[in-house]
Amino acid sequence: GENVEQHPSTLSVQEGDSAVIKCTYSDSASNYFPWYKQELGKRPQLIIDIRSNVGEKKDQRIAVTLNKTAKHFSLHITETQPEDSAVYFCAAGGKLIFGQGTTLQVKP
Amino acid sequence: NAGVMQNPRHLVRRRGQEARLRCSPMKGHSHVYWYRQLPEEGLKFMVYLQKENIIDESGMPKERFSAEFPKEGPSILRIQQVVRGDSAAYFCASSGRQGVLSPLHFGNGTRLTVT
């Protein structure tokens, strides 16, 4: 069945550093790849998404890259801030299968 | 424009009782998805519905779980004869006309506790 693998499961960075989270997917028909941020006890919120007709998308400090040939996509956060600390999920596939999540901790 | 509304926020049930979780999608959205999230785990797909139709229920347990999205009213996720392992956060999400190619908007979830 469809599968999405996400790495790393935890990531700790110093404030101001960059953070990169990677996902691979199995369904070659996937054409929509969103990223969600979930703070403790709250709902997942969309932070950026990309469709398969583009290779990269950027929104201020957040960027996503997509390699359809290799079936992987990545989230890049630059100049991290303490408020970026949360769990981040990638998703792909016809019914949006989510990765296992990455807990990002940004140390002041 | 109200977002996705889920109720109740918290639900406590004893083993063997029934749990009914409700989800009203965003205005204009006709696609509803249900996900289950265990503590410190990811979002597990359960079911995808459109009005009066179940499109994909491949993530639903074969027994005790059912979902509907009637022509009028909210989508309902129903769990019969709950067991402790059903304790989790259940999130509903909705999307617009393009279905999965448009962003999913999540509700605040229902946290089910089975005692």
Which residues of A fall within a CB distance of 8 Å from B105? 46
Q: Identify the burial level of B22 via C-beta atoms within 10 angstroms of its C-beta, where 0-12 means exposed, 13-18 middle and 19 or more buried.
A: middle
Which residues of B fall within a CB distance of 8 Å from A31? 101
Side chain identity, residue B76: I
Q: B33, B13, B15, B14: which is closest to B23 by C-alpha? A: B33
Residue A106, both tokens: 């940004």
B2: pLDDT strictly greater than 90: no
Indicate the pairing of strand A62-67 with strand A72-77. antiparallel
DSSP for residue B16: T
Indicate the pairing of strand A62-67 with strand B5-7. unpaired
Q: A48 to chain B: nearest residue by CA?
A: B103
pLDDT per residue as tens digits for the range B31-71: 999 999 998 788 999 999 999 999 999 999 999 999 999 99
Min Cα distance A37 → chain B (Å) is 11
A89: pLDDT strictly greater than 90: yes
B97: pLDDT strictly greater than 70: no
The pLDDT score that the predictor gives to residue A28 is: 87
B20 Cα distance to chain centroid: 10
Which residues of A fall within a CB distance of 8 Å from B104? 34, 46, 96
Q: A80, A6, A4, A34: which is closest to B105 by C-alpha? A: A34
Mutate which: B10, B36, B43, vs A, most A CBs within 10 A:
B43
Tokens 């989510």 correspond to A98
Q: B83, B95, B77, B4: which is closest to B36 by C-alpha? A: B77
The pLDDT score that the predictor gives to residue B1 is: 56
More confident residue, A80 or B29: A80
The pLDDT score that the predictor gives to residue B110 is: 98
Selecting from B42, B56, B58 the residue whose C-beta is nearest the C-beta of A101 gives B42
DSSP for residue B69: -
